[in-house]
Structure 1
Amino acid sequence: MESVYEAAGGDAGLVRLARAWHERVLADEVVAHAFRPPLHPHHVERLAAYWAEALGGPTTYSATMGDETEVVRAHSGNGPHGDMDDRAIACFAAALDDVGLEDPVRAVLLAYFTWATRTTMAAYEESADDVPDGLRIPHWSWDGLQPV
């Protein structure tokens, strides 16, 4: 059986999805403020590489760009933001439609994004300094979260 990464279109498919999601969050009045500069100039490609690794693709992100600790720290220390998370998830669902992904891969990707948004990316609301060193990128498959 192919990986979720492969079913999503590999690197090219995830770049399309990351670009569609990024465009949607920038247009959302609640979520957009989190994406104002200074973003990395290759944010979309880095996001796609992160998703690729999490979904069974190459380890490009952790080998050349960063680790889970860095990603979680970037999303931490902003207090509770449930409404923003809900809207980011809605933007992701719409982006899945924008790029034409259908079930079963659509459902798996939405479950992954929802889980990541509500758990790992929201785990350290008080301070990014609370995020421990050495976190590894979680892996997600057709069956959900996998042990790393």
Structure 2
Amino acid sequence: MGVDEPGLPTLHEWAGGSDAVRRFIDAFYDRVERDDLLAPFFPGGVSEAHRAHVAAWWSEVLGGPTTYTDELGGYEAMLAHHRDLGITSDQRHRFASTMSLALDDAGLPADPEFRAAVIGYVEWGTRLAMHNSQPGATDVVEHAPVPRWGWGVAPPYGG
């Protein structure tokens, strides 16, 4: 279920669609592979399949096609990928800041409204992932829809 923002483009549309989201994810993982703090999560590099799956997740989160839910296991699959990783606070922060840099690398829109919405999701999602990744984590939401993120309080600026 998407957010109800009638008359506004989805974040996915504003970003430039699935091709733009894939550029963003590739730019992110290109940085991750060179990062001493994050690269250990991906021994041997980030596979094409992983990049494609994460791009599908992000496309869905931003209001695009529901491929991750329909074909790749939805929220439960993403939760399973993060269990027992033991993500540290430093790793979470590096992940989030690297996401911001990758938005620039990929040439996604730089307007503050779009960036605030995307980074809002990054902060929310990485904090959940960090919590859910701790061995023995409690209060983990086991079943949920893939989140559908919207503009929140700052829709695209119309001039």
Pick the aligned partner of 2:12 from 5, 18, 27.
5
TM-score using structure 2 length: 0.80
Higher strand share: 1
Equivalent position amino acid for 1:122 in 2: M
Equivalent position amino acid for 1:59 in 2: T
Q: Give RMSD over aligned pairs.
A: 2.2
Matched, 1:76 2:83: yes
> Displaced runs of 4+ in structure 1, greater than 6 A?
none
TM-score using structure 1 length: 0.85
How many residue pairs end up in the alignment?
143
Shift of 1:133: 4.5
Shift of 1:25: 0.9
- Is the CA contact (8 Å cut-off) linking 2:24 and 2:106 kept in structure 1? yes
Pick the aligned partner of 1:126 from 135, 138, 147.
135
What percent identity do the matched residue pairs reach?
Answer: 33
Q: Deviations over 1:35-80 (max 9, x none)?
A: 2258654111111110111111111111011111111121121335
Cα separation, 1, equivalents of 2:137 and 2:56: 23
Task: Say if 1:91 and 1:24 are closer, same or farther in 2 by CA, change over 3 A.
Answer: same
Which residue in the other structure is 2:65 paired with?
A: 58
Cα separation, 1, equivalents of 2:116 and 2:49: 27
- Is the CA contact (8 Å cut-off) linking 2:29 and 2:51 kept in structure 1? yes
More relative contact order, 1 or 2 (CA 8 Å, 6+ apart): 2
Cα separation, 1, equivalents of 2:103 and 2:48: 23
Pick the aligned partner of 2:24 from 6, 14, 17.
17
Q: Deviations over 1:3-24 (max 9, x none)?
A: 0011111100100000000111
Cα separation, 2, equivalents of 1:53 and 1:96: 17
Provide structure 2 residue ranges, at least 5 long, that are not aligned to the other structure: 1-7, 154-159
